[in-house]
Structure 1
Amino acid sequence: MRNEAIKTIKLALPIIIGEIAQMALHLIDTAMVGAINYKQLAASSLVMNAMGIPFVLGIGMTISVSQMVSMAHGRKDKGMVAHYLYNGFILCAVTAILISLGLIGLRFTLRYMGQDPEVVELAIPFMGLMGLSIIPMLLFMTLKQFTDGLEFTRTAMILSLGGMPLNIFINWLLIYGNWGFPRLELMGAGWGTLITRTLMFLVLGLVILKHKTFRPFMNERKQQWYIRKKTIKELLHIGIPSSLQIGMEAGAFAVSGIIIGTLGAVSQAAHQIALSCASFTFMVSMGLAQAGSIRVSNAFGRGDWERIAIIGKSTLYTALIYGLFCAFVFAIFRSQLPFLFNDEPGVVDLAALLLLFAAVFQISDSTQAIGAGLLRGIKDVRVPTILVTVAYWVIGIPSGWLMAFVFKMGTAGMWLGLIVGLTMASLFLIWRFLHMAKVNQQAEASMQGEKVIA
């Protein structure tokens, strides 16, 4: 089992670095905007929360590409790899455009969410730019899922790392108005994000089209680059439930953030700081989940349930150890981390408290991500979607609201609700995977026994 864990970690490491680099772009924006004042930080938080659900729905759709590509690659079918890339790209492009238009068109609804008026007026134009940047971001993620599904995970990692200094430089020019550029403050961060995401997508596209690593698959273009209804259905079968699963969790955090925003700008800013830190550590869990999912999907294509069980259990143990480590770091440095974003005393004190809650749910957050990824690897997506919905929206959010407003615990109450929701999701998904693996292992052993007797 140790060897399987090491293999998964090796595959996951470039994915993790790439995910952290992507999250770092957001953290950089948050920190550079927060240095202006906490109202701008709160506006950034409001937009990120409002965009959370649509954005992750798009991310979920891109996951279908890596799942189908990894299965085809496991069967050594280069033609189908190219076919899934083309159909997946078209599907994700349409999804990205629809999400972008929806966000841009609905940005004025921020005025009706009970938020601080000054924060809202800062947030509306910023949401327009961020909505537009959804298109290059989701297209980049689609191509990334393709390369990850082939287990060439370093390609997107290098580009993600390269995007960091570019984003910092553009932010430095446009947020603060250096070198004669206009001082755009929050809008400068929006332009920096849009420009960086667009360049990353274009460069990755050129690499896939031109680099010799991907040439065997690109040579199949003439035969395989056409839209097929059956293929789109296969991608949607994975993509829609995956989108809903991720959307349920992101939606829980987004709705919690909007509810917290009704408590004031200080609460909103503190929530954004704690959530940014938790989201950063979660990128490692996402990388492990994707690597585990790719490896399980490959074994699933061969019908090897014994291997599936070993890969799954080893990945879950790895996630447990990582969650414990993150919990320790958050608990020890909870009073220092907020100063990376803002020095307003009220914001810092509340953020330190929320980071203590974030420390508690690190284990649940890590293991539920792995559970969901492993289940996607065996193409079990419908039941897990129901389980996740119950965990977050029937148990987590309602209990958080009760603690926040009925029991007068405020922002801390909403975060306790998040802890409950994440814990239940983790228990549900892990149980589901272990149950599926056990049942299918027994069925596989029974079939082998019958063959021996025959």
Structure 2
Amino acid sequence: MKKIFVGAEFKALILLALPILCTQLLQVGMGTTDIAITGHFDALVQSGVAMGVFVWNPILLFASGTLMAVTILTAHQFGAKRVKRIPTIFHGGVSVALVFSVIAISIMWQSEYILRFFEVQDDVIPLSVNYLRALSVGVPAIFLFNTLRCVCEGVARPLPVTIVTFVGFVVNGVMNYFLVYGYEPIGLKSYGVIGSGLGTAFAMWSMLACMLMFYRVEPRLKTLNLFRYRARIFKQVKGLLQIGVPNGASIFAEVALFSVSGLILGRFGEIVINSHQIALNITSLTFMVPLSTSFALIALIGQRMGRKDFEGAMRIAKMGRLTCFGIMICTGIYLFALKSYLPMVFSDDPEILKLSAHLLIFSIIFQLPDGLQIAAAGCLRGMKDTKAPMVIGITSYWLVALPIGYYLAVIKNMQAEGVWIGLIIGLTCSAILSNLRLQWQFKRMKRMYGLT
């Protein structure tokens, strides 16, 4: 049996994954901060923000997933020592980001139709729409930031992104607090749900500004000369979309499943809405660990594929999969031990706290399949195999998880419990199919390149 864990490669995986993890925790922490601040301000306002987040997250992550093609292509070119081609990839990414910004803003301003389609409580809808319209101010900034971030991670320089995201996290917390609650000494009035959206939008622009500064001073990033014009951008856009859209669609399929599940629960009132959102926020924070490992795998495997080290790519894929499996065992134990205490960060309502703790039990069950599917997906993306994860995601989440979740939640009136059972079944299907696809890729590579 060949050795899977090679010290230098495991060290490289951890050193790359840790800054990405900090970045992911800080980004998710921004949404968590919005929920926590509004939760202690007013339960109805918290519901409005929660429903707004359910609409915003699929939009953000579809765009981010598509732009991840920048990471994949950058890693391949960087591994092959063709650094001069990276600026063209970046400019193509910027073009895609700007088009997506227009589409995203349009959806956010017309979000009332989405909320009414899912029969969200009438008094929650205007709050959610106002939150999304205020948040839309920051959409171009966060999409352009993500394009710069993807280049950073593709050339194995994630630390600047972490530092910048930390700045955004602090700015978001401060701005949210003052704009939601107001500050009488300077005559700043309370803007409630609109203040929450504007605070996050302001943080997004601050992150973009800081990221641009890093590209002026960080040695490896500075040598890329990203801001020098490169020809054939439209040809590059086509290549980005061919890889990126299936990738974005697979991420969208998973994230939209969680969002649609939350929107389905919008008919059951603010206690169910808030409890579901709190449990989901807590679960999202623990999920950032395997997700960050998955992002690191994209870069490391992509670089080895670029330099035609196919055996090394397979070895890292196997190592990453085992690493994610171990991580999810640890996070499951952590959630079980603290399930009654973590929801207290978000609410003081005893009913909400009790239901949130109960829902966390379900999240513990899907920790293992969730870790295995995201690890396999990261390995496949690093190999430029993005269409298979898309098909697997749509099948597992929309043809399996969502119908089961809707049936149990609405038809059988199991409410939040029904939705979470559907999520467990869908994630398990995704884990099985993704890992079967990865094993197929291993066999294909061995056959094509004569590996043993």
TM-score (norm 1): 0.94
1:15 — aligned with what?
20
1:128 — aligned with what?
133
**Cα 1:384–1:127 shift into 2, 3 Å:** same
2:338 — aligned with what?
333
The AA in structure 1 aligned to 2:265 is I
Distance (Å, rounded) in 1 between the aligned partners of 2:33 and 2:336: 23
Summarize deviations over 1:210-259 as a string: whole Å, max 9, x none.
Answer: 544323211x755x523433211110111100110000001110111011
2:30 — aligned with what?
25
Q: CA deviation at 1:152?
A: 0.7
The AA in structure 2 aligned to 1:189 is S
Say yes or no: does 1:442 pair with 2:447.
Answer: yes
Q: CA deviation at 1:108?
A: 5.2
Say yes or no: does 1:213 pair with 2:220.
Answer: yes
RMSD: 1.7
Report the 3-state secondary structure (helix = DSSP H, G, I; strand = E; otherwise coil) of the residue aligned with 1:117: coil
Does the 8 Å CA contact 1:61/1:92 hold for their aligned counterparts? no
Distance (Å, rounded) in 2 between the aligned partners of 1:280 and 1:249: 16
Distance (Å, rounded) in 1 between the aligned partners of 2:38 and 2:333: 28
> Aligned runs of 1:417-432 on 2, under 5 Å?
417-432=422-437
> Aligned runs of 1:306-345 on 2, under 5 Å?
306-345=311-350
Distance (Å, rounded) in 1 between the aligned partners of 2:380 and 2:116: 39
Report the 3-state secondary structure (helix = DSSP H, G, I; strand = E; otherwise coil) of the residue aligned with 1:409: coil
1:379 — aligned with what?
384
2:98 — aligned with what?
93
1:188 — aligned with what?
195
1:351 — aligned with what?
356
2:60 — aligned with what?
55
The AA in structure 2 aligned to 1:204 is M
Report the 3-state secondary structure (helix = DSSP H, G, I; strand = E; otherwise coil) of the residue aligned with 1:380: coil
Say yes or no: does 1:252 pair with 2:260.
Answer: no
Distance (Å, rounded) in 2 between the aligned partners of 1:333 and 1:93: 42
1:228 — aligned with what?
233
2:211 — aligned with what?
204
Report the 3-state secondary structure (helix = DSSP H, G, I; strand = E; otherwise coil) of the residue aligned with 2:119: coil
Does the 8 Å CA contact 2:130/2:193 hold for their aligned counterparts? no
Distance (Å, rounded) in 2 between the aligned partners of 1:205 and 1:367: 35
Does the 8 Å CA contact 1:331/1:359 hold for their aligned counterparts? yes
Q: CA deviation at 1:174?
A: 1.2
State how many pairs are aligned.
445
Q: CA deviation at 1:134?
A: 2.1
Distance (Å, rounded) in 2 between the aligned partners of 1:104 and 1:341: 27
Distance (Å, rounded) in 2 between the aligned partners of 1:241 and 1:37: 39
The AA in structure 2 aligned to 1:128 is R
Distance (Å, rounded) in 2 between the aligned partners of 1:445 and 1:305: 10
Summarize deviations over 1:358-390 as a string: whole Å, max 9, x none.
Answer: 111112222211111111111111122111111
Distance (Å, rounded) in 2 between the aligned partners of 1:74 and 1:107: 46
Does the 8 Å CA contact 1:71/1:298 hold for their aligned counterparts? yes
Gaps in structure 2 of 5+ consecutive residues: none
The AA in structure 2 aligned to 1:374 is C
Quick one: percent identity of the two aligned structures?
25
